[in-house]
Chain A
Amino acid sequence: MSRPLVALPGAVAKPVSDRIQIKDSADGLESFDLLAHGNAVGEALRAALARPSAVGAVVLAAASPPTDTALLERFAALKIPTLVLLGTRDATVAADSGRRWRSALPACNVVLIYDAAHDLAAERPQAFADIVTDFLSDPGAFLVNRRSSALQP
């Protein structure tokens, strides 16, 4: 992974992976990816709008789309690859909100983290880290399984 991942304040969900370099701030970074959790998603979208050419990809975890539709429209126009993660046991943000993300950002990928409540990274750390790493390593190829499934060489 070439770009560091900037986890915005409030991102309680932080992926634990030695393949991800996490930063608290985008200050001084030429290019970076963004991660936001819960109520911080609006901030992530605004951060992307502030420096669109520096942002490679965006991961939004356990969040509903902001009510600010103008903000969503402006972010959608940037066409930055976006992954939305939702927990199937999240009592705060229903897994159904994936539909609203898809109507706001038609190109976004929505992935449900099975059996995870609101704090996705704490609930299923490996599942969270794996999907984030997979996405950020090559957002354009995300849909394609690039791991070997050979059981034995």
Chain B
Amino acid sequence: MKAALFSPCTYAGPTAASGWPVPTTTYSSAAAQQTFHTAIEHSRLADRLGFDWVTVAEHHFTPFCITPNPMVLAGALTQVVKRARIALLGANIPILNPVRVAEEFAMLDVISGGRLIAGMLRGTPNEYVTYNVNPAESRERFAEALQLIRRAWIEPEPFGWQGRYWQFKSISIWPRPVQQPHPPIYMSGSSPESGEFAAKNHVGLGFAVTSLALASKAARHYREQAALAGWTPAPDDVIYRIPCYVAASDEQAMEDLASAAAAPVPRSISLSLSQGAESAIAGAGYYGRDDAQRGRVAQLFRSGTHERIEQGQMLLGAPRTVVAQIRRIHEEVGAGVLDIVPGLSGEQAIASIDRFGTQVLPAIREIGT
């Protein structure tokens, strides 16, 4: 298995209570600078420890993740991450200009010497409010944007695009990607629709905010659909993102987690819209035909630590324990890339990343080989 370290770039200062978009009334530029400094240092450490990828994400108008354009952070990471691949998971392509996305991805692939992983996501529902895009058009916009980005990467001659959602008279992007025909593409999705789309379009699939049971069902569907489309996804085609905290012992891990949870954390990590807006997005068909699983996932995330470990929503414990937890994820989901979200913060986060790199990573290398 491969391992990736995700830098969520959660703002390191106090913020307003709840809701989205989150007001900036308590904003501190020092805290924001600290946030990026931490992300860059974690990525540098992961690279040194032998992590295969470092990953960044896109969210808007929230301290939960202060990388509205992950390309910018990825650009900085190309200069400190010398060996690992840099994965953008991703660009929220339905709400962006696909030609600009193709250009920025290509730049990153060139600057990093061909180490880009091009994740393309629909994003969380609130992002459709961000740039005032109708969420009912999300899947159609995604499909068109993906095809346009691919075409922009591979087409040697200028071409125009008469799309449904985008129109361009003449496109010929410079620079071209280093990886040919183009960088690896991933999309996210636990819904049957996403799995079918990924299989049909021959792209990788990533799971986040899920559970072992849901992800294994979705991964099975993806593989079945890929077989119908005439190809077999490799282990690397499936990414599983999960929070992870590795301590010296299981007891220490539990204790650290408990004291961290007891400390006041006056920060909003909400991406939740008002109930009216949320209903409008659900009513627009945003979630796909297996909408009921949303409630189940939300329910699962409210359970206790042991349940969350059991459900594949958290890696926690001594290195040996965490290896066993990861082995189970591989067995049930078939994921070949584990994207870990650093648990806790400060020195504890760094110690955990270090333990993962030195004691977990060598042991999970042989999984799936």
Asked if A113 and B156 sit within 8 Å, CB to CB, the answer is: no
Q: CA–CA, A128 to B155, complex, Å? A: 22
- With A98-B155, A99-B155 as contacts: A112 and B169 at CB distance below 8 Å: no
Residue-by-residue, is A94-118 near B (CB-CB < 8 Å gives 1, otherwise 0)?
0100110011000001111111000
Asked if A111 and B147 sit within 8 Å, CB to CB, the answer is: no
Asked if A142 and B158 sit within 8 Å, CB to CB, the answer is: no
CB-CB nearest in chain B for A88: B147
Cβ–Cβ < 8 Å partners of A130 in chain B: 162
CB B98 to nearest CB in A, in angstroms, measures 11
Asked if B158 and A112 sit within 8 Å, CB to CB, the answer is: no
Cβ–Cβ < 8 Å partners of A114 in chain B: 144, 147-148, 161-164
CB A146 to nearest CB in B, in angstroms, measures 11
CB A110 to nearest CB in B, in angstroms, measures 5
Cβ–Cβ < 8 Å partners of A70 in chain B: none
Q: How large is the interface on B (under 10, 10 to 19, 20 to 34, 35 or more residues)?
A: 10 to 19
Q: CA–CA, A111 to B169, complex, Å? A: 7
CB-CB nearest in chain A for B168: A111
Residue-by-residue, is B155-184 near A (CB-CB < 8 Å gives 1, otherwise 0)?
111111111100001100000000000000
Cβ–Cβ < 8 Å partners of B144 in chain A: 114-115
Asked if A111 and B158 sit within 8 Å, CB to CB, the answer is: no
Main secondary structure of the interface of B (DSSP, over half): mixed
**Among B148, B158, B163, B164, which residue has its beta carbon within 8 angstroms of that of A110?**
B158
Q: How many pairs of A and B residues are in contact by the CB < 8 Å rule? A: 54
Cβ–Cβ < 8 Å partners of B327 in chain A: none
- With A88-B147, A145-B169 as contacts: A111 and B157 at CB distance below 8 Å: no
Cβ–Cβ < 8 Å partners of B156 in chain A: 99
A131 interface residue per 8 A CB criterion: yes
Q: CA–CA, A130 to B169, complex, Å? A: 12
Cβ–Cβ < 8 Å partners of B169 in chain A: 109, 111, 142-145
Cβ–Cβ < 8 Å partners of A127 in chain B: 162-164
CB-CB nearest in chain B for A145: B169
Asked if B148 and A111 sit within 8 Å, CB to CB, the answer is: no
Main secondary structure of the interface of A (DSSP, over half): mixed
Q: CA–CA, A99 to B172, complex, Å? A: 12
Q: CA–CA, A99 to B159, complex, Å? A: 9
B355 interface residue per 8 A CB criterion: no
CB-CB nearest in chain B for A113: B162
CB A128 to nearest CB in B, in angstroms, measures 8
CB-CB nearest in chain B for A89: B147
B267 interface residue per 8 A CB criterion: no
B151 interface residue per 8 A CB criterion: yes
Cβ–Cβ < 8 Å partners of B151 in chain A: 88, 95, 112
- With A142-B169, A145-B169 as contacts: A112 and B162 at CB distance below 8 Å: yes
Query: For chain A residues 11-27, which have a beta carbon within 8 Å of chain B?
Result: none
Q: CA–CA, A127 to B165, complex, Å? A: 11
Asked if B162 and A110 sit within 8 Å, CB to CB, the answer is: no
Residue-by-residue, is B193-221 near A (CB-CB < 8 Å gives 1, otherwise 0)?
00000000000000000000000000000
Q: CA–CA, A43 to B206, complex, Å? A: 51
CB-CB nearest in chain A for B148: A114
CB-CB nearest in chain A for B157: A102
**Among A111, A124, A142, A145, which residue has its beta carbon within 8 angstroms of that of B159?**
A111
Q: CA–CA, A145 to B156, complex, Å? A: 23
Q: CA–CA, A95 to B164, complex, Å? A: 17
Asked if B170 and A112 sit within 8 Å, CB to CB, the answer is: no
- With A88-B147, A109-B170, A145-B169 as contacts: A115 and B164 at CB distance below 8 Å: yes
Asked if B160 and A111 sit within 8 Å, CB to CB, the answer is: yes
**Among A99, A112, A142, A143, which residue has its beta carbon within 8 angstroms of that of B161?**
A112
Cβ–Cβ < 8 Å partners of B170 in chain A: 109, 143
Cβ–Cβ < 8 Å partners of B157 in chain A: 98-99, 102-103, 110
Asked if B160 and A112 sit within 8 Å, CB to CB, the answer is: yes
Cβ–Cβ < 8 Å partners of B162 in chain A: 85, 111-114, 124, 127-128, 130-131
CB B160 to nearest CB in A, in angstroms, measures 3
Q: CA–CA, A146 to B41, complex, Å? A: 48
Q: CA–CA, A142 to B162, complex, Å? A: 13
For the A-B complex with A99-B157, A114-B148 known, give 16 more contacts whose Cβ atoms are closer than 8 Å: A98-B155, A98-B157, A110-B158, A110-B160, A111-B162, A112-B161, A113-B162, A114-B144, A114-B163, A115-B144, A115-B164, A127-B162, A127-B163, A143-B170, A144-B169, A145-B169
Could you list 11 examples of A-B contacts with CB < 8 Å? Answer: A85-B162, A98-B155, A98-B157, A99-B157, A103-B157, A111-B160, A111-B162, A114-B144, A114-B148, A127-B164, A130-B162
List 9 tightest A-B contacts by C-beta distance, closest first.
A111-B160, A102-B157, A114-B163, A143-B169, A113-B162, A99-B157, A127-B162, A110-B159, A131-B162
